[in-house]
Amino acid sequence: MKTDENSSMSGMIGLTARQQQALVLMQQGKANKEIAKALDISLGTVKQHLAAVFKKLNVKNRTMAVARLAEFKDQSRFNPIFSQEILIARRPALVLSLKIEGQLSQAALKLFDTYMSDIAFGNHALFISREWGDGTLIFGLKRSSTQYIRTVIQAAQRVFYAIKAFITQHLNDEAATPVFTGALVAGLTQVSQNRFGGWSGESVGSNLLTCAYKLRENAQANCLIFDANASSVIQAFDLILPSNFSNQLAFSKLHYLNGWNVSHDTPLVGREKEFEFIKALLAKDYSALFLEGENGMGKSRLCREAGRLAIQAGCPLFYIHILPSGGFESEHFQHLKCLIQVFYDLKTKNKGLLIIDDAHHLITESKTTLTHFLNNLPKGLQVIISGRRPQSYAINEAQQAAYRLLHLGRMDDVAILAFINKPPSAAATALVKRARGIPLFAKELLQSTDENPVSLALMVTIASRIDKFKIDWKLLYCVASQDKPVSLEQLVTLMHDDLAYIKAAIKQTETLGVLTHQSGTVSFRHPLVQNVISYLFGSNATASARGEH
């Protein structure tokens, strides 16, 4: 046993030397009895060691523990970007910078910092405080999400109204009314990243912060100012910018962004068969539709069309977005904290449509509450639950006949061509090929140029999927860095990992549709994903590239 190789792992993950030895032997496929013999300890002691290993690694079984082992290996022999067990990479990020001014008490200023800290803790964000009443939140460092833009808007509202209410209640002095200014910028920031995703906590680039501070100086009193990238992300992820929007909006009007009825929706093309499920639901052929699919497949687009049909039929609509924190955002229920109030209001109606979008973000408690409601659904109510696959709710057997599951797969080339509303041409065919049947990809690729071939929204979408499943970013980079498909032998050399682990990691990425392994070589299933990975880890990209300040 080479204890010098394992010492760094032991320090990082808190395992004792004996636990490290048991873990490595387990990785080699040894049974508990074989581990006991190799270490000259009892079988009971082996079980105790492995139980401790599982707990410290936060895993549930041997397979998961082995998969986590590579995360902590020494990679100093690899490319310098992976030295000291850390990857240096760009990550998509949103920066919300807020400042409160005025003759305010220390209690009010302290409350500002408390709210900002709470938001950071609950949303995987980083809070940086320059001074009392001047703070910045960075979203996306620890985990990417297509819904962080809604979280950021809600955070800005929450802090603004909380301070305003505190001053009104405790000071009762109009002269002491605070003046808020804020800036929201989006882009790429260079960070130290863990091998399996997320900020390592060691370093973060400051370019976006500097841009946010400078932009904030141009904000009007009690307004939030947006940079061009933030506005682009807002539109890409279907938030609603006012028709007269320039580049800033009053804090008191930020809730308009979270409306559901997106005015720039294009005609519903390519999902006609799926739309028949919506029509049948509203015709009360059944009671609830579980709509699932990966990011960018058009789930929210179908939900919005359902909402429009419901309104046309005079049916009350309750449309709720679930945020990455597990919280809620709704046009009708501002700063909703739980679903109980929604269910109570629904039960007072003899008809209505409830749409819960991005339901995969529901925390366990909310999901339990929702499941109970679905199993006791009042007559006359219809429900659409939309989220990433798989969705699982404990529906009573007696209720299952009234429920449907609809999975949104990729569109075929003909449907994508109709979706982008372009006549057949070489350029259109190339775009369709790059989109690979994903509506969001097609929509964003329409905005691409030679200088900016990949939008920030696409980077966020791709990074969020990889972060969610904790795919090995090092494996992806090694494959992306090569011009041709990579052999397993090459990966062993590039990654300095065991072949058994590499095969297991590849199998995981195949299951998730990221990589493909054929005839002994590995390549990306989607060239666009490879382009994004190459860019995020590239060392020669210029600061003028799209999304980077």
- Residues 402, 486 share a domain: no
Q: Can you tell me whether residue 526 is helix, strand or coil?
A: coil
Query: Does the pLDDT at position 472 exceed 50?
Result: yes
* Distance in angstroms (rounded) separating the CA atoms of residues 163 and 99: 12
Query: Does the pLDDT at position 93 exceed 90?
Result: yes
Mean pLDDT of 375-395: 87
- Residues 67, 107 share a domain: no
Q: How many domains does the chain have?
A: 4
Neighbours of 354 (CB within 10 A): 25
- Residues 215, 66 share a domain: no
- Residues 468, 383 share a domain: no
Within a domain: 283? yes
pLDDT at position 168 is 79
Query: Does the pLDDT at position 179 exceed 90?
Result: no
Per-residue pLDDT tens for 15-32?
777 887 888 788 777 888
Query: Does the pLDDT at position 535 exceed 50?
Result: yes
Within a domain: 422? no
In percent, how much of the chain has pLDDT > 70?
A: 89
Going by pLDDT thresholds of 50, 70 and 90, the confidence category of residue 67 is low
Within a domain: 431? no
Q: Do 419 and 411 meet the contact criterion of CB atoms below 8 Å apart?
A: yes
* Distance in angstroms (rounded) separating the CA atoms of residues 399 and 321: 25
Q: What is the CATH number of the domain that holds 15?
A: 1.10.10.10
Per-residue pLDDT tens for 482-530?
989 999 999 988 888 788 888 888 998 998 889 999 999 999 998 899 9
- Mark which of 258, 283, 314 sits at the end of a domain: 258
Residues in the chain: 549
Within a domain: 265? no
Higher pLDDT, 49 or 212: 212
Going by pLDDT thresholds of 50, 70 and 90, the confidence category of residue 33 is confident
Cα of 402 vs its chain's centroid, Å = 31
Within a domain: 169? yes
Local structure of residue 1 (DSSP, 8 states): -
The sign one gets for the Cα dihedral 471, 472, 474, 476 is negative
* Distance in angstroms (rounded) separating the CA atoms of residues 23 and 36: 12
The sign one gets for the Cα dihedral 43, 45, 51, 53 is negative
- Residues 154, 63 share a domain: no
Query: Does the pLDDT at position 243 exceed 90?
Result: no
- Residues 382, 294 share a domain: yes
* Distance in angstroms (rounded) separating the CA atoms of residues 348 and 351: 9
- Per mean pLDDT, which range of 137-146, 172-181, 243-252, 530-539 is the poorest? 172-181
Within a domain: 80? no
Q: Do 319 and 311 meet the contact criterion of CB atoms below 8 Å apart?
A: no
- Per mean pLDDT, which range of 68-72, 81-85, 331-335, 379-383 is the poorest? 81-85
In sequence order, the 6+-apart residues with CB closer than 8 A to the CB of 348 are: none
Give, in degrees to the nearest 5, the angle at Cα 228 between 359 and 210.
100
- Residues 252, 114 share a domain: yes
- Average pLDDT score, the chain: 84
Per-residue pLDDT tens for 336-369?
778 888 888 888 777 889 999 999 999 888 999 9
- Mark which of 74, 100, 122 sits at the end of a domain: 74
* Distance in angstroms (rounded) separating the CA atoms of residues 401 and 241: 41
pLDDT at position 51 is 86
Q: What is the CATH number of the domain that holds 241?
A: 3.30.70.1230
pLDDT at position 205 is 76
Within a domain: 451? yes
Dihedrals phi, psi of 179, to nearest 5 degrees: -110, 115
Going by pLDDT thresholds of 50, 70 and 90, the confidence category of residue 539 is low
Within a domain: 463? yes
- Residues 251, 368 share a domain: no
* Distance in angstroms (rounded) separating the CA atoms of residues 416 and 431: 9
- Residues 457, 354 share a domain: no
Q: Can you tell me whether residue 384 is helix, strand or coil?
A: strand
Going by pLDDT thresholds of 50, 70 and 90, the confidence category of residue 470 is confident
pLDDT at position 127 is 92
Query: Does the pLDDT at position 449 exceed 70?
Result: yes
In sequence order, the 6+-apart residues with CB closer than 8 A to the CB of 28 are: none
Nearest CA among 532, 540, 493 for reference residue 75: 493
Residue keyed to tokens 């499941």: 371
Q: How far is CA 313 from CA 62, 266, 268, 282, in A?
A: 54, 21, 19, 9
- Per mean pLDDT, which range of 49-58, 185-194, 220-229, 440-449 is the poorest? 49-58
pLDDT at position 271 is 92
Q: What is the CATH number of the domain that holds 299?
A: 3.40.50.300
Q: Which amino acid is at 512?
A: L
Going by pLDDT thresholds of 50, 70 and 90, the confidence category of residue 330 is confident
- Residues 249, 281 share a domain: no
Query: Does the pLDDT at position 332 exceed 50?
Result: yes
pLDDT at position 119 is 92
- Residues 193, 67 share a domain: no
Going by pLDDT thresholds of 50, 70 and 90, the confidence category of residue 176 is low
- Mark which of 231, 258, 285 sits at the end of a domain: 258
* Distance in angstroms (rounded) separating the CA atoms of residues 33 and 30: 8
Per-residue pLDDT tens for 279-329?
999 999 999 999 999 888 999 999 999 999 999 999 999 999 998 888 888
Going by pLDDT thresholds of 50, 70 and 90, the confidence category of residue 174 is low
Higher pLDDT, 270 or 65: 270
Query: Does the pLDDT at position 370 exceed 50?
Result: yes
Mean pLDDT of 141-169: 89
Range of the structural domain that residue 150 is part of: 85-258
Going by pLDDT thresholds of 50, 70 and 90, the confidence category of residue 79 is very low
- Residues 387, 356 share a domain: yes
